[in-house]
Structure 1
Amino acid sequence: MVVKLSPGEVAAAGRSSGSESDVASLMEFKNAITQDPLAVLHNWKHRLHFCNWTGIRCNTEKWRVVTLHLKNMSLQGVLPPQLGNLSFLHYLDLSFNRIGGPIPSALGRLSRLNFLYLHANLLEGSFTHSLGNLRNLQVLTSWANRHTGSISTALGNCSMLRVIDLSDNDLEGTIPSQIGSLTKLEVLHLDNNRISGEIPTSVLNCTELRNLSLFNNSLSGVIPSEMGIKISKLEYLILPKIISAGRFPNHWEIARGFLGLNWRGMN
């Protein structure tokens, strides 16, 4: 159960060694924010119980931070590695801010994390392989940033992933075959990058896939045969023009609920 604390509950909650660690991690995050024009972190002070700080939610069993939600708060700064010490964190949303720098590898220690929203910031660098340690992660969005490098093969270890959106970056390399290990994946958006090569046939293992968008990349080859049969839940497929449909349309008659096959972007 996740709550905000009443004054009486604040007195009862107290501080454990674990919650003291959470407070220290949150203060490191606050210190890493160089501009807070909306003063959303103004009440992040020791005189107020940290479970009542803006954007924070705690559980009532161990009084540990489970949610850090500061979406669209005009925050500017970087992500400190100490965020990786919020070991009970389930939900992290820092989207629509002006947070820059790399994603610290320490985030790979957030073993309970289910939702990671980092999109629409100024984040740079490659995706750390340590994110592959997030075995409970269900949603990963980091679109509209400045990421470079290749898509980490370690993401194939995140077997609970349902949504990956890394569009509008500067990613290169190929789509890793390990994407086929994500059998719960429903949404994969990699459009507006510099990804090359072919769509791996392992994507046919992603039988829950509903939305696949890969346009404005340097992909080539043909759509994997039998996609319309094995990924029968697919509703939207948006590809670069250079990719050939191959035998795809013949199979697609079997797919249910298909709403759109579009070619966009690079010729």
Structure 2
Amino acid sequence: MKTLFVSLLISTLLSLSLSQELCNSQDKQVLLQIKKHFGDPYLLASWKSDTDCCTDWYQVECDSTTNRIISLTVFAGTLSGEIPAAVGDLPYLQNLVLRKLTNITGPVQPAIAKLVHLTSLRLDWLSLTGTVPDFLSQLKNLTFLDLSFNGFSGTIPSSLALLPNLGALHLDRNKLTGSIPESFGTFKGSVPDLYLSHNQLTGEIPASLGNMDFSVIDLSRNQLVGDASMLFGPNKTTNNVYLSRNLFEFNLSNVTLNVSYNRLCGQIPVGGKLQSLDSSKELCNSHDKKVLLQIKKHFGDPYHLASWLPGTDCCKAWNQVECDPTTNRIVSLRMYSGNLSGEIPAEVGDLPYLKTLELHKLTNITGPIPTSISNLINLISLRLSRLNLSGPVPDSLSNLKNLRVLDLSFNSLSGSIPSSLALLPEIDILGLDRNKLTGPFQESFGNFVGRVPGISLSHNQLSGKIPASLDNRDFRWVDFSRNKLEGDASMFFGPNKTTGVVDLSRNLLEFDFSKVVFPTTLTNLDINHNKIFGSIPTQMTQLTILSLNVSYNRLCGLIPQGGKLPSLDYTAYFHNKCLCGTPLESCK
């Protein structure tokens, strides 16, 4: 029966019963259709119908409150074919990234127009063709649109200027023709960074662009003619203007200058009004790039990080990292299933804007959790799972006040659980399962200052009693299985709680089960291999029980004959003191 209650590990974390699936069933069906459309590729191997898409699948992210899919990010793999129409059936999607998948062909799928919550759409380094669709103007929440490095042709739709929140527009490195739309001088909201380089655009720059204060504008490598001086002015805050390899003719006096990719010779003038000369077009922040190269060197320049080359742009060309589209600072570092070995380098703490740090399934990563990670005050998700880390869980992790997901599962961490983790105000998922943690809980452990997280501490060596401070906490799910905990655990239940899953199996717990009042939301309960006594409350017949295991305890009395209880397998009840009734033997 235990196999019916098998724990799931959250991809960011933890162990949950399969039947207490977080993933929305409609979203899951859509994702499986997308996988099938691409021919069940290895890149999507984690997308399995019998696992939870919110906790076990790579490339997707669920909202921590609604559990609806809000992000789909697939890059650098072997997917081929057109973008499936099913992608438009993820109604809560905010982030859609298909990147460096050069066998993805065809047009931009019209179904994308249905994704009204989309804030970031990145379909770059693919092999898309056709026109840039006019329907993209319907995505009113879009802040970032990147269709670069494709084969798009035709003209640029003027309707893109109707996007009120657009912060960056990348249409560079395509085959676009015609002129720059006049409407690009009348953006309805913020003025986006504009990248139109490496196309076949012709004609003059619309005079209306002189009304816009672009931070970055790149019109290089086209066939544009005439005047471009309207892009400059004393009241503008423009940082970067790229006009190289065109046919412009205008007075260059008193403007910021980029004369790269020409045949100029001689000494750069000193003095006068020439403030700086920058021929670099790299987006990657130089500090972040230096840190990443130090990390690569620390790991011995492994093949897994082969794309991290000093001569390339870490925001455009490097795998495993992601830059903020506005600031170009590194916000995500994800590495898994590779050949990295050694300790986690201290330099990882020198990426001050990092929001996501994931090292997963890298079993040659050893040593302690570096204290420098506590410098990453913007961190939202920290996942150091299925490594070979040792030492204690650092108390300094409590400094990460924005942390929502903390997954340190499947390591060899030892010592006690620091009570300071309860000081994390945003923590939503806490996974410390499958380590070597010992000792009793500190009483203050249950005093969570913010939200109450889903929590998994299973497969450790925890002992003593569960603190009474947990009595007033409403856990969405809790897994304390396979420890040496003793005494009472009834505090996890109660009529006013919303707990869905409780796994307390294989401990030394001892309390009166007949006095427990269950939350109506309870769907999965496993208390096998304890010393729990009393009878099974009749209230359980009113619950939507999907999985139940009370075997190997000291329960007595009639199994309530209602709901799903009589239809469960007998192994859910056997090896008790004197339980009887269907599916066990009749009571005497």
TM-score band by shorter chain is 0.7 to 0.9
2:459 aligned with 1:195, yes or no? Answer: no
Which of these residues, 379, 382, 395, is aligned with residue 129 of structure 1? 395
Which of these residues, 345, 348, 361, is aligned with residue 96 of structure 1? 361
CA contact 1:184–1:206 (8 Å) conserved in 2? no
Which of these residues, 448, 451, 461, is aligned with residue 181 of structure 1? 448
CA 257–214 in structure 1, closer or farther in 2 if over 3 Å, else same: closer
Identity within the alignment, %? 24
CA contact 1:190–1:214 (8 Å) conserved in 2? yes
Alpha-carbon distance in 2 for matches of 1:121, 1:226: 31
Which of these residues, 338, 344, 366, is aligned with residue 73 of structure 1? 338
Amino acid at match of 2:482: N
- 1:62 positional shift: 1.5
Q: Which has the higher contact order (CA 8 A, sep 6+)?
A: 1
Deviation string 1:105-154 (CA, Å, 9 cap, x unpaired) is 11011111111111100111111111000111111111111111111122
Q: Secondary structure at the match of 2:487?
A: coil
Amino acid at match of 1:45: L
Amino acid at match of 2:332: T
Alpha-carbon distance in 2 for matches of 1:148, 1:63: 38
Amino acid at match of 1:184: R
CA contact 2:345–2:370 (8 Å) conserved in 1? yes
Q: Which moved more, 1:254-263 or 1:62-71?
A: 254-263
Q: How does 1:225-236 map to 2 (within 5 A)?
A: 225=491, 227-236=493-502
Q: Secondary structure at the match of 2:452?
A: coil
Q: Secondary structure at the match of 1:229?
A: coil
- 1:75 positional shift: 1.9
Alpha-carbon distance in 2 for matches of 1:151, 1:185: 17
Q: How does 1:87-166 map to 2 (within 5 A)?
A: 87-97=352-362, 98-166=364-432
Q: Which moved more, 1:180-189 or 1:216-225?
A: 180-189
CA 49–185 in structure 1, closer or farther in 2 if over 3 Å, else same: same
Deviation string 1:37-66 (CA, Å, 9 cap, x unpaired) is xx2211211111111311010012221000
- 1:238 positional shift: 2.4
- 1:247 positional shift: 5.3
Amino acid at match of 2:467: P
Amino acid at match of 1:69: R
Deviation string 1:83-118 (CA, Å, 9 cap, x unpaired) is 111111111111101211110111011111111111
Which of these residues, 426, 435, 439, is aligned with residue 169 of structure 1? 435
- 1:34 positional shift: 4.1
CA RMSD of aligned residues (A): 2.7
Q: Which moved more, 1:91-100 or 1:219-228?
A: 219-228
Partner of 2:313: 49
- 1:230 positional shift: 4.7
Task: Extract unaligned runs of 5+ from structure 1.
Answer: none
Alpha-carbon distance in 2 for matches of 1:46, 1:100: 27
CA 265–118 in structure 1, closer or farther in 2 if over 3 Å, else same: farther
CA contact 1:73–1:96 (8 Å) conserved in 2? yes
- 1:210 positional shift: 2.4
Deviation string 1:205-247 (CA, Å, 9 cap, x unpaired) is 432x222111221211111447323533232332434102335
Q: Determine which structure has the larger helix proportion and give its number.
A: 1
Alpha-carbon distance in 2 for matches of 1:198, 1:241: 11
Which of these residues, 325, 335, 339, is aligned with residue 60 of structure 1? 325
Partner of 1:82: 347
CA contact 2:320–2:333 (8 Å) conserved in 1? yes
Alpha-carbon distance in 2 for matches of 1:248, 1:197: 23
Q: Secondary structure at the match of 1:245?
A: coil
Q: Which moved more, 1:6-15 or 1:237-246?
A: 6-15
Amino acid at match of 1:96: K
Alpha-carbon distance in 1 for matches of 2:415, 2:504: 23
Question: What's the TM-score once normalised by structure 2's chain length?
Answer: 0.41
Question: What's the TM-score once normalised by structure 1's chain length?
Answer: 0.86
Alpha-carbon distance in 1 for matches of 2:309, 2:529: 50
The alignment covers a number of residue pairs equal to: 260
CA 61–70 in structure 1, closer or farther in 2 if over 3 Å, else same: same
Alpha-carbon distance in 1 for matches of 2:514, 2:500: 13
CA 226–80 in structure 1, closer or farther in 2 if over 3 Å, else same: closer
CA contact 1:160–1:184 (8 Å) conserved in 2? yes
CA 61–94 in structure 1, closer or farther in 2 if over 3 Å, else same: same
Amino acid at match of 2:352: S
Amino acid at match of 1:258: T
Alpha-carbon distance in 2 for matches of 1:265, 1:23: 53
CA 265–31 in structure 1, closer or farther in 2 if over 3 Å, else same: farther
